[in-house]
């Protein structure tokens, strides 16, 4: 009897939606890669500027053992980490101040609405003049860009606290500090967490932009150097590596959000937030 | 004056005060990097009203709007298709997640290699980046359509085409507009970056060139122009969105 359990569980595993979805996703990925590979082989895409995908991936695999790739990844990640941390601290503190004070909110909301749509890349020339072409410029640009999503999300979250919860806290004579820490802030977390995810992506984008446009060391610079040198396989390998880094950071933040918001309805029902 | 009107006055006065503060602070500035605001504004008038509009602003904005329009034309139908067909959605999920995660500027060298440094490359890059917010939001919007609505439409034998146009599309519209707004600001950013990396004209090129030749007031005037453009696009889009979704806001107000 005991042997019949194992095929049973295996069958259940094979039929579980998670497994079939994963299989389907893998099939989609393989199909797209195969189509690209085949297009190059039959000459639909020019082999010179569009090498075979398999060659690009082999190049990437070959680089995995070399220092060049990891140094570039390290530079990019360093810029990302510093600017993300700075942006989070600045934006959350500022957001708490602005969101909990009506006068401050009135004074800043229009200014924020003016400043926020300014494309951060417009600052690149000034930043290069004042801060040079190194890590400082990269961090400044990325911090500037990544602050807005968190700031706006924090302000929204602070102002959208459930009135009943606030009144309850008031009727229990909770001190303002306790109300802020245990009623208002937790209520704002569902807003702040997606803001953090956007900020992480934005910070990475701006770091790569800075590396690409002003030549700070990192993945962006490696991509342009490979392109300028006509080493297209290397260029594609670096682009793929940059994409993988983006995917990893994304996954990290989705997991983080899930953990931070364990208690929130959007996470309890499956598939609330992708 | 009651508290409400004080707050409103403050809201209107604050940006003006900030500008005045900038003007006063920079008035006697001798620092080459931070020229007086009045100087920036006079250079702005000489440069952008309307001397360089034809040579720089129009080509830049044409690229940007072409890329943005293509993002919508491709993103919305594709999003509806992927949103409605579950198999397609699961099969394409990993590839979409990957391409979306590539920081957009990293695609510029790829665009240069494949398409050269012309207009085609810039529109392509703007499209490559702008299409994803529209696509993702459309997929989410379509998935969120109330199944009851779809079922009743089907029960009344509403044709497939009418179901798409009059049930699915309107129900997903608020989400689609949210995606388009993100896409619009990304388009502006990519327009600037693509001109900074490879171009001989356009606003981004002008600013970078001004910086390299130490024409600092000109550089500032370009930055101010970009700020104004960003603000205006945001404002215009907000107006269009409010008009297009008036029924939605009305319905929500009625419900609450």
Q: Which residue range(s) make up the domain with A29?
A: 2-42
**A102 chain-B contacts, CB cut-off 8 A:** 7
**pLDDT beyond 60 at B256:** no
Same domain, residue pair A97 and A34: no
Query: DSSP assignment, residue A120?
Result: G
Same domain, residue pair A37 and A76: no
Same domain, residue pair A64 and A104: yes
ipTM above 0.90, yes or no: no
Question: What average pLDDT score do residues A113-127 get?
Answer: 82
Average pLDDT, chain A: 84
Q: Which range in A87-91, A232-236, B28-32, B252-256 is most confidently predicted, on average pLDDT?
A: A87-91
Q: Which residues 144-203 of A are in CB contact (within 8 Å) with B?
A: none
**A125 domain-assigned:** yes
Between A16 and B165, residue with greater pLDDT: B165
**A48 domain-assigned:** no
Average pLDDT, chain B: 86
Question: What average pLDDT score do residues A248-264 get?
Answer: 85
Domains detected in chain B: 37-255 (1.10.3720.10)
Report the C-alpha gap between B256 and B253 in whole angstroms. Answer: 5
Burial class of residue B175, CB neighbours in 10 A (0-12, 13-18, 19+): buried
Nearest-Cα residue of chain B relative to residue A23: B91
Query: DSSP assignment, residue A230?
Result: T
Binned at pLDDT 50, 70 and 90, residue A11 comes out as: low
Predicted local confidence at residue B215, as pLDDT: 86
Q: Could you read off the pLDDT of A155-195 as tens digits, one per residue?
A: 888 888 888 888 888 899 888 888 888 888 888 888 888 88
Burial class of residue B171, CB neighbours in 10 A (0-12, 13-18, 19+): middle
Q: Which residues 166-225 of B are in CB contact (within 8 Å) with A?
A: 185, 188-189, 192-193, 196-197, 204, 207-208, 210-211, 216, 219-220, 222-223
HSE of A68, CA atoms in CB hemisphere, 13 A = 17
Predicted local confidence at residue B253, as pLDDT: 64
Which token pair is A242? 């940059």
Q: Tell me the shortest Cα–Cα distance from A244 to chain B, in angstroms.
A: 7
Same domain, residue pair A248 and A156: yes
**pLDDT beyond 80 at B249:** no
- CB contact under 8 Å between B95 and A29, yes or no, is yes
Same domain, residue pair A9 and A123: no
Same domain, residue pair A229 and A170: yes
Report the C-alpha gap between A194 and A153 in whole angstroms. Answer: 8
Neighbour count for residue A175 (Cβ, 10 Å): 9
**A273 domain-assigned:** no
| Closest of A227, A246, A229, A251 to residue A73, by C-alpha | A246
Report the C-alpha gap between A215 and A128 in whole angstroms. Answer: 10
**pLDDT beyond 50 at A1:** no
pLDDT > 70: what percent of chain B? Answer: 97
Predicted local confidence at residue A262, as pLDDT: 79
Neighbour count for residue A133 (Cβ, 10 Å): 17
The CATH number of residue A196's host domain is: 1.10.3720.10
- CB contact under 8 Å between B114 and A50, yes or no, is yes
**A47 domain-assigned:** no
Binned at pLDDT 50, 70 and 90, residue A3 comes out as: very low
Same domain, residue pair A22 and A72: no
Question: What average pLDDT score do residues B11-38 get?
Answer: 84
**pLDDT beyond 90 at A256:** no
**pLDDT beyond 60 at A5:** no
Which token pair is A58? 């082999």
**A70 domain-assigned:** yes
- Kindly list the distances between the CA atom of residue B16 and the CA atoms of A133, B19, B213, B256, in Å, as whole numbers in the listed order: 33, 5, 32, 36
Report the C-alpha gap between A211 and A134 in whole angstroms. Answer: 9
DSSP line for chain B? --HHHHHHHHHHHHHHHHHHHHHHHHTT---TTS--HHHHHHHHHHHHTTTTIIIIIHHHHHHHHHHHHHHHHHHHHHHHHHHH-HHHHHHHHHHHHHHHHS-GGGHHHHHHHHHTTSHHHHHHHHHHHHHHHHHHHHHHHHHTS-HHHHHHHHHTT--HHHHIIIIIHHHHHHHHHHHHHHHHHHHHHHHHHHHHHS-SSSHHHHHHHHHHTT-HHHHHHHHHHHHHHHHHHHHHHHHHHHHHTHHHHHHHHHH-
**A274 domain-assigned:** no
Same domain, residue pair A150 and A89: yes
Same domain, residue pair A29 and A106: no
Same domain, residue pair A37 and A124: no
> Please, are residues A219 and B107 in contact by the beta-carbon 8 Å criterion?
no
Does any CB of chain A come closer than 8 Å to the CB of residue B112?
A: yes
Neighbour count for residue A191 (Cβ, 10 Å): 20
Number of structural domains, chain A? Answer: 2
Predicted local confidence at residue B252, as pLDDT: 64
Binned at pLDDT 50, 70 and 90, residue A2 comes out as: very low
HSE of A49, CA atoms in CB hemisphere, 13 A = 12
Same domain, residue pair A136 and A57: yes
Same domain, residue pair A107 and A133: yes
**pLDDT beyond 70 at B199:** yes
Binned at pLDDT 50, 70 and 90, residue A274 comes out as: very low
Q: Could you read off the pLDDT of A34-82 as tens digits, one per residue?
A: 888 888 888 777 877 788 888 888 888 888 888 888 999 999 999 999 9
Entry pTM: 0.83
HSE of A149, CA atoms in CB hemisphere, 13 A = 19
């Amino acid at each position: 009897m005991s042997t019949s359990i194992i095929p049973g569980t295996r069958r259940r595993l094979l039929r579980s939606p998670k497994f079939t979805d994963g299989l389907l996703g893998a099939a989609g990925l393989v199909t797209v890669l195969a189509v690209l590979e085949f297009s190059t082989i039959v000459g639909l895409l020019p082999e010179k500027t569009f090498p075979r995908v398999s060659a690009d991936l082999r190049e990437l695999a070959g680089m995995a053992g070399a220092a060049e790739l990891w140094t570039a990844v390290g530079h990019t990640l360093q810029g990302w980490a510093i600017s993300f941390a700075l942006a989070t601290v600045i934006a959350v503190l500022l957001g708490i101040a602005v969101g909990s004070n009506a006068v401050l909110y009135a004074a800043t909301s229009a200014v924020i609405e003016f400043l926020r749509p300014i494309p951060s890349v417009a600052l690149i020339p000034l930043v290069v003049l004042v801060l040079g072409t190194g890590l400082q410029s990269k961090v400044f640009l990325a911090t500037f860009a990544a602050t807005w999503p968190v700031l706006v999300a924090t302000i929204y979250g602070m102002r959208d606290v459930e009135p009943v919860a606030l009144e309850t806290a008031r009727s229990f004579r909770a001190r303002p500090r306790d109300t802020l820490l245990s009623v208002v802030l937790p209520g704002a977390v569902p807003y702040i967490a997606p803001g953090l995810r956007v900020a992480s992506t934005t910070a990475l984008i701006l770091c790569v932009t800075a590396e690409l446009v002003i030549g700070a060391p990192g993945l962006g610079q490696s991509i342009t150097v490979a392109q300028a040198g006509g080493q297209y396989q290397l260029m594609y390998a670096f682009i793929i590596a940059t994409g993988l880094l983006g995917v990893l950071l994304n996954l990290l933040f989705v997991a983080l959000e899930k953990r931070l918001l364990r208690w929130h309805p959007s996470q309890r029902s499956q598939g609330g937030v992708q | 004056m009651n508290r409400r009107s004080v707050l409103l006055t403050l809201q209107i006065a604050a940006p003006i005060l900030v500008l005045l503060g900038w003007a006063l602070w920079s008035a006697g500035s001798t620092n080459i990097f931070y020229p007086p605001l009045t100087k920036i504004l006079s250079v702005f008038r000489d440069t952008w009203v309307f001397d360089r509009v034809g040579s720089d602003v129009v080509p830049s904005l044409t690229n940007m709007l072409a890329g943005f329009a293509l993002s919508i034309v491709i993103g919305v139908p594709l999003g509806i298709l992927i949103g409605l067909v579950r198999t397609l959605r699961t099969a394409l999920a990993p590839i979409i997640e990957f391409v979306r995660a590539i920081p957009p500027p990293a695609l510029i060298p790829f665009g240069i290699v494949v398409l050269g440094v012309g207009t085609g490359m810039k529109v392509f890059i703007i499209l490559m980046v702008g299409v994803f917010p529209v696509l993702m939001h459309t997929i989410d919007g379509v998935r969120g359509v109330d199944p009851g609505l779809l079922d009743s439409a089907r029960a009344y034998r509403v044709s497939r085409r009418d179901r798409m146009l009059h049930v699915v599309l309107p129900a997903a519209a608020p989400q689609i507009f949210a995606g388009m707004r993100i896409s619009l600001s990304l388009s502006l950013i990519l327009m600037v970056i693509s001109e900074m990396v490879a171009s001989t004209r356009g606003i981004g090129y002008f600013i970078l060139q001004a910086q390299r030749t130490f024409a600092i007031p000109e550089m500032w005037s370009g930055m101010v122009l970009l700020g104004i453009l960003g603000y205006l696009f945001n404002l215009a889009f907000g107006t269009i969105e409010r008009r297009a979704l008036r029924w939605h806001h009305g319905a929500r107000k009625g419900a609450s």
